[in-house]
Structure formats: C-alpha cells, structure tokens
Amino acid sequence: MRIGALSMCGMGVFGALTVLLLSRNLPSVEQIANRRVAQSTKIFDQSGATLLYELSAGQKRTVISLEDIPLYVKDATIAIEDENFYQSPGFDWRGILRALWVNVTRGRVLQGGSTIAQQLAKNAFLSPEQTIVRKLKELTLAIRINRHYSKDEILALYLNEIPYGPTVYGIEAASQAYFTKPAKDLSLAESTLLAAIPKAPSYYAPHGAHVKELLDRQKYILKRLYELQKIDKEQYESAAKEQIAFAAQDRGIRAPHFVLEVQEYLVNKYGEDLVRTGGLRVITTLHTELQTIAEKAVADGAKRNEELYNGKNAALVALNPKNGHVLALVGSRDYFDTEREGNFNVATQGLRQPGSALKPFAYLAAFKKGYTPDSVLFDVPTEFETQKTECPPLVDYKSESKECFHPQNFSLDFRGPVSLRNALAQSINIPAVKTLYLAGMDDVLTILSDFGVTTLNDPQRYGLSLVLGGGEVRLLELVGAYGVLAQDGVHRPQVFVREVRDSKGKVLEAYKETTGTQVADAQYVRLVNDILSDVSARTGLLQSNVQLTVFPDHDVALKTGTSNDYRDAWALGYIPSLAVGVWAGNNDNTPMERRGSSILAAIPMWHAFMVEALPQFAPESFTRPESVMPEKPILRGEYTAGNMVHTILYSVDRRDPLGPPPQNPGADSQFTNWEIPVIEWAKTHIPDFDRLYNQPVGTFQFPFPTP
C-alpha cells in the first residue's frame, strides 16, 4: 500500500512538474487578443525567381464584436467544431484520449481532438508543428484561457482568429471575400457554408477544386443544426434549397490549376497548419514561359472550338520525360470563368475517354509477342464475338444490336490488307481491335499500368472497345505514359515540387535525379516511336493538316484520339525531352459537333504550343529500332504466301504467335467472324482467287469445325 501511495504521489509530482515546465514558455492570458503574426508560404516556378502564389500573404482580418456575428454562424460553428462548447472545461478528454491512441500507435500526430479553446490557443500562439509536446502546450493554454475568459469572449476571439482560406482570416474577412457582404448580413445557408471551411481551409476554400465536398459538408452542418433544434423545419428546408453564389476570386495567383495541385500535395505531406503559417519556400517544376505559351494556346484554341464545334473547354499538360517534371499545366480554358466551371482541373481530375490514344500501347504489347510493323491484318467489315450473344460473321452496319461489336473507321471506308505500321499511324480502327485481341487485354492493361495509367481497372466493362476509347483516363497520366514512350520504356514518377525549405532555410525535401524504372523493352518501344514519328505514314490520316505536325529539326511523334459522339478530342505528341498532351471538349461532357475531331479540335491547339515551345529544346532524334525478320511469312507481312489468303488466326495461335500454327484455327472464338470477310474481300480483289488460291489440301475443307 505504501509503495502504491508513493507511486501515485510520484506520478502527481511528475504531472505537476510537467505542467509547470510547459507553462513557463506559454504567453500570458492577456496576450490572447494579439494575433501571432504568421509567415506565409511562397510557391515559385522552377527558377525560384517568379512567385506563383503566396499562401496566407496579406492576411485580411477585420475584428468584429460578438454582437455583429450572426447567431447562425455561432451555432453552426459550435455544432461542427465543439458541440459541448458551453459545458466543457476547454478540453475534451475523450477526444484527447482517442487522438492520443491513434498518434501513439501510428508513431506521429495524426489527430488532434481539439475544442474551440484548443484551436484558439493553437492558432493564436503556438507553432504549427505536429508533436506531442505541442499538443500538451495547447491543452495547458486552453485550460488557462477557459479560466480567464467567458465562453462568449472565447467564441468571439476564435471567430476573429481562425483561417477561412489560404489568405482569409476571421469571419468578417471570409464574408467579404466569398460573399462581398458584412458578416452580420449572412444568410443561414451562407453561415453554415463558412462554418464548414475551418476544418481544412485550403481544401474547402470556395475558389478551390473541392467545392462539391465543401457543399456536402455545408449540408451536413445544416442538418446538424436542425437535429440540435437550433433551426426549425421551414428554415432547414429553405436553406437547403438556397443556391449559394460565390463572389469572383481575386486573381493573385499564376498558373492556378498547377499551384492548387502543389498546394494539395504540400497539405497532404506537411499538414494544413505548417503550409498555412510555417513560412515554407517551395520551388516547383513549372516553366513560366512554357506555362504562358500553354495558357494562350488553350484559351485561343478553346475559343476557336467554341465557335466552330461547340467545344467550350480544353486542357494541356507538358512534362519533361527525362525527369518527370511537369513543366506546364492548364486544367481548363479559364480558371476564373466560373460559368464554364473553369476551376475544375480536367488535367488531373477529369476522367475522359481517350479514343484512339490508347492504340500505341496495344501495338506495343503485340510487338512484345512477336508481331512486327510489317505484319498484316485485314481492314474489312468485321463482327467481333463478344461472348454475350451469337453475332453474324458478315457485318450489317444497319443492325441496331447493342450486343454485337462492329466498329467503323473514321473515314467510313475499308482498306483491306494493311500493315501494323500503317494501321497505327493512320489510326485504323478494325486492325486496332484485332491487335488488342491478339496482344491480350490483360497484357495491354499491364503495360498501361506500368506506364503510369491508374484508372483502367474494369476490363469487363469496355472489352475490345478499349482501343477505341472504351475506358476513361486522366490527361496528366496519359501524357506521362507517352513520356515513357519518349524515354524508350523508362518510367519516372511525375514531379511538381523540386524543393521545400522551412522558414529558417532548412531543406525539408529536394528532388533527386533518378534513373527511373525500365518498364518495357526498349526495342519494342522504339518500334512504336518509329511509327508515330513517321510523317509519311500519318499523312494518309491527316491529309492537308499533316503540316501542323511537322517541325524543322525536330523528330516528333504524334497520336490523336476522338471518343464516341465527339465528346473528347486528343492530341499527344513527344520528343525525347518533351511530352505534350491536349484535350478538347466540354466540362459537362456534352459532345462537340461532328466535325470536332482530334484533327480539327485538338491538333491546332497542340501545334500552337509546340511551334512556340520546341525552339527551347535542342534537336534530338529517337533511337531507331533493330530490324525484325520473323520466320513466319504472315508476321513478315506476306499474307498471300503459298497462294493462301486467310485471317491471321489461320497461321497464328495468339497464345504463342511465334510457335507452330494452330491445329484447329476454328477453335478460336473470333476465327469464323474474321475469316469470312477476308475471303469475301479476296474474292472481290484478287483475280482468279477461286481457281488459284486456298485450294483444298488432302481432306481439308473450309470452314473449320468449331468446338
């Protein structure tokens, strides 16, 4: 018993000493009315000379009395931040213990469990560092504040102190910044919206990229007020229906879509408080001159598209494939144009169908399996077996069946036998679908994943239409994948931030050069690059527009894409040192007019950027691939060898293209539907076909038996 009593006594003395030591360096209670001056975080371009944005710079604050703060604001803030505010001693033991458990088990401070008094102490006097000692100081100061100030005084200090955005402090400044009115005139809906912001001011800022999440949180607070009987049903329903309109944002920011990506990265890594008040100096990867060129190209191109094709928006991403640095990023036509949802970042947030822009990766997978640019596939009307229903082998393009898959070409005609080189360069659809089938869906998706595309995870949904735009991708990731092509199959993570220093100049992080990861054999990537950089090969597709893709002294590869109904138009081009992608369309996913294809809506915009940007890069050619000469004639492009004309599935087992021909070609589910249109084409285009070709050998008869 004596030992236990001594232990308890010792623990009490230790606790008292701990509180005493923590209290020695804390400010007096009287100082609480004087705001601690926070240092702003500055975000620069890659040179470190051009300031893009200053978080918390010019902090706007107008201190107002509690009487001038609407009851709606007070009630909403208490409901979401500290429901037991008027009853608590300034701290919440349950919240503290819960947060302490999470922090101890995770090894760092992840949760705070803070009351309004604790948040006031933290914002007014304490550093933004996330440590146990800081939390103990916060608790000690909160208890002191609670003893010396009334609850109403604490609430008034809190509402005049806390941040409501990267540069907006206090409820009055927030009301003026977002609604251009004094706080006393805020409506119930506006009050609950402002109460939703302090939890994460940068994330929930009304002019940021997370307005939907902000409105969801506002609706939740409104519902809590009703549940707590702070408002009646009529007030609740009226406020829930109110359309909240934000005032135009002050344009104190350059490259806003890029900067907001950087800001979100910093907040996720260092925490809201340190980014907002820690005085960080951030050097990004942004190339200011290229960003200016990109913004002009997008603005001019989208204006032109709106007039010609009813395509009101566009986005552009440019990166350096040699290190993954994002050099320019324009997420929408005009970030400040709220009528067109300009603050939505299509480049990083938008999921859009890429049309034919995924075709190179299917051909890459095919080359890995032994097919060559000279291998021939037949571009003839073809019905592809979907395993959902039996489809006739000869295509009736007037058929309304949604189960059968019979793609058409952009030109609405068919070329017959075509090499993989020309099929890819001219973006011919039917050979591309056949290539995807031969290469294997899983292998193509693996390549795309290895190249940095993370969104294609449901092959059952898009099936063989993948190479025609059946899935959805983000522009930023797709440009990164083309950057891997530019670097002969070497993948490097995309980088927005080169260096971060704290307010004392200490380096918190710095980019380090990396050799990257070889995710594909260079030989097969070079085969793709050789095709996409072949101007003569792509002339058949681009016709008179081909000159928009040719730049003196530069070896430029290019691929385009247009999704169904002309909803999305793409142009993706690259040299070894620069990969650039353009998307054109509408933010609400409505289609452009029929002529709004990639050739007309995206390439001119892409060209406008490239023609200004390429002079800043030294001429550099792609490494040419080694010559390929497989043993099988069909893989060499000799599709009439031995006076036999068949679909490629007659000679090639897709599970082992370089191995022996299949014993029973008809066992392949696609064989009959591929074979019959080929024979029909041959009868029409090859003289004396019935007499000189495909003569029976022994007991062989066509068609082959099917399993």
Tell me the CATH number at 214. 1.10.3810.10
Stretch 656-682: mean pLDDT? 92
Stretch 42-70: mean pLDDT? 83
User: Are 172 and 295 within one domain?
Assistant: no
> In 10 A of CB 688, how many CB atoms?
7
User: Are 140 and 183 within one domain?
Assistant: yes
Q: What is residue 565's predicted lDDT score, i.e. its pLDDT? A: 81
Q: Is residue 663 part of a domain?
A: yes
Nearest to 164 by CA among 185, 178, 181: 178
User: Are 138 and 170 within one domain?
Assistant: yes
- Antiparallel, parallel or unpaired: β 416-419 and 376-379: antiparallel
Q: Are 424 and 359 in contact (CB under 8 A)?
A: yes
The domain of 478 spans 280-354+473-518+539-623
Tell me the CATH number at 481. 3.40.710.10
Q: What is residue 143's predicted lDDT score, i.e. its pLDDT? A: 77
User: Are 187 and 300 within one domain?
Assistant: no
User: Are 249 and 319 within one domain?
Assistant: no
User: Are 585 and 676 within one domain?
Assistant: no
Q: What is residue 698's predicted lDDT score, i.e. its pLDDT? A: 45
155: which 2 tokens?
Answer: 């609430």
Q: Bigger pLDDT: 204 or 167?
A: 204
**Arithmetic mean of pLDDT over the chain:** 85
Q: Is residue 152 part of a domain?
A: yes
Q: Are 605 and 314 in contact (CB under 8 A)?
A: yes
Choosing from 570, 600, 623, the residue where a domain stops is 623
- Antiparallel, parallel or unpaired: β 41-44 and 281-284: parallel
User: Which of 22-31, 265-274, 311-320 is the least confident region?
Assistant: 22-31
Q: How many structural domains are present in the chain? A: 3
> In 10 A of CB 244, how many CB atoms?
17
User: Are 582 and 600 within one domain?
Assistant: yes
Spatial CB neighbours of 663, under 8 Å, sequence gap ≥ 6: none
Q: Are 538 and 546 in contact (CB under 8 A)?
A: yes
- pLDDT digits over 218-249, tens only? 999 999 999 999 999 999 999 999 999 888 77
Q: Bigger pLDDT: 701 or 23?
A: 23
Residue 135 half-sphere exposure, CB side, CA atoms within 13 Å?
21
Q: What is the pTM of this model?
A: 0.78
- pLDDT digits over 478-490, tens only? 999 999 999 999 9
For residue 462, name the pLDDT band (cuts at 50, 70, 90).
confident
For residue 697, name the pLDDT band (cuts at 50, 70, 90).
low
Q: Is residue 382 part of a domain?
A: no
For residue 403, name the pLDDT band (cuts at 50, 70, 90).
low
**pLDDT(532) > 70:** yes
User: Are 249 and 286 within one domain?
Assistant: no
User: Are 640 and 619 within one domain?
Assistant: no
Taking CA 690 as the corner, what is the angle to CA 686 and CA 695, rounded to the nearest 5 degrees? 115
Q: Is residue 556 part of a domain?
A: yes
Q: Is residue 499 part of a domain?
A: yes
- Antiparallel, parallel or unpaired: β 51-55 and 41-44: antiparallel
Choosing from 602, 623, 644, the residue where a domain stops is 623
201: which 2 tokens?
Answer: 């001011």
Task: Give the DSSP per-residue string, 579-630.
Answer: EEEEEEE-TT-PPPPTT--IIIIIHHHHHHHHHHHGGGS---PPPPPPP---
Residue 695 and residue 689: Cα distance in Å, rounded?
10
Spatial CB neighbours of 344, under 8 Å, sequence gap ≥ 6: 209, 331, 332, 350, 587
Taking CA 441 as the corner, what is the angle to CA 437 and CA 445, rounded to the nearest 5 degrees? 145
Choosing from 211, 240, 255, the residue where a domain stops is 255
User: Are 203 and 344 within one domain?
Assistant: no
Q: Is residue 266 part of a domain?
A: no
- pLDDT digits over 14-35, tens only? 444 444 445 556 666 666 555 5
Q: Is residue 307 part of a domain?
A: yes
688: which 2 tokens?
Answer: 């004396």
Alpha helix locations (H) across 288-385? 288-309, 346-349, 359-368
Q: Is residue 213 part of a domain?
A: yes
